[in-house]
Amino acid sequence: MNDLSYMKQALALAEKGRGWTSPNPMVGAVLVRNDRVVGRGYHQRPGGPHAEVNAIDHAGEKARGATLYVTLEPCNHFGRTPPCTRKILDAGIRRVVVAMADPNPAVRGGGNTYLQDNGLDVTTGICEQEARTLNEAFITWVTTGRPFVVAKCAATLDGRIATRTGDSRWVTGPASRQFVHGLRHAVDGIMVGVSTVKKDNPSLTTRLDGAAGSDPTRIILDTHLSIPLASKLLHQTSPAPTWVVCGAEAPADRQMAVEASGARVVTAALTEGRIDLSALMQQLGEMGITSLLIEGGGTVIGSAFAAGIVNKICFFYAPKILGGDDGIPICRGVGPERMNQSIAVHDLSVHRFDTDVMLQGYLKPF
């Protein structure tokens, strides 16, 4: 086997940490000696051992003279755990193959340089794009201070997310909905508008078939704090919190009532009477939200595109047609006057979920 094959194994290990490592990146590591894998590891939780440490501990004495394949540059600084570079040197590893440099500008390159200065052969850039895609949320957050934002919708072929009465259960099928629960598991936060709460009374929890999942922080846009106090979101038996985002002029008695229910009220800046989504992203990033899934409704999705905060889309289309012009569209609000002012989607890919189709693409680089 070659460097590419072993790095792909490390990437597969890193994927096991999805949904569990934030605000840390997902990292996988494989140790190889004499063309045999002698150690494997991945980062499992914040504050826990890094992937390299787990792989070295797994290998034991077999790590001496081995090659380490790791999906992210080994750390060379003290954080919650000691530097991985020291562990690598102490283990007697002779060569390190790295998929990508640490994107954090404060530490980028330090680990690779330290290992090279201490006589190790360091190769970088193997499966770099795959590694960057794996940690697209971490890269965005650590370089911009803002969360990586995914806009998701489920629509008919004629672009409606609900009928004129607001009925939306269900647009897409079970396979699509299960994939969305996987998206919820993977992100730090999930955001909807208060109109969606009033209409659907959602739980916004993660429910994976046959597997444990982590619930995202539930973030409700509610300028005037009009959320019904009996809403499921305010009474979840979940370790993840609920944040209700409002303007500074929201009534004090409503703030007290919402917080008495167990939710947190977050005051945010307004623009034209609505939550300023761009400013809110900076605020959420400072609060530790590295990734955010926007699930609607149409006004929130339209506002998110208008504010320029969306990094990625996951648009699901079911083989259904409402056939009228009175259903609820994917986006609400004022759009551009000319087609050349539309938002371009890059790196578009198509995925099938039974009879549904999902279009996935990027609006900006990460």
Residues with a known catalytic role: 52
Secondary structure E strands in the chain:
28-33, 36-42, 67-70, 95-98, 121-124, 148-155, 160-162, 189-193, 217-221, 242-246, 264-267, 270-271, 274-275, 291-296, 312-317, 328-329, 346-353, 356-362
Bridge partners, 97 (sequence order):
69, 123
Phi and psi based region of residue 210 (left: phi greater than 0; alpha: psi -120 to 50; beta: remaining): left
CB 292 within 8 A of CB 130: no
Lookup: tokens for 260: 């008495």
Per-residue buried b or exposed e for 297-321, using 16+ beta carbons within 10 Å of the residue's own CB: bbbbbbbbbbbebbbbbbbbbbeee
Rounded-to-integer distance, Cα 270 and Cα 223, Å:
8
Number of helices (H) and strands (E), helices first, in the chain? 11, 18
Q: Tell me the CA distances in angstroms from 363 to 144, 149, 235, 342, one per residue in order.
A: 16, 10, 35, 11
Per-residue buried b or exposed e for 204-229, using 16+ beta carbons within 10 Å of the residue's own CB: bbbeeeeeebbbbbbbbbbbebebee
Rounded-to-integer distance, Cα 238 and Cα 214, Å:
9
Rounded-to-integer distance, Cα 189 and Cα 241, Å:
10
Which amino acid type is present at position 66? A
Rounded-to-integer distance, Cα 184 and Cα 289, Å:
13
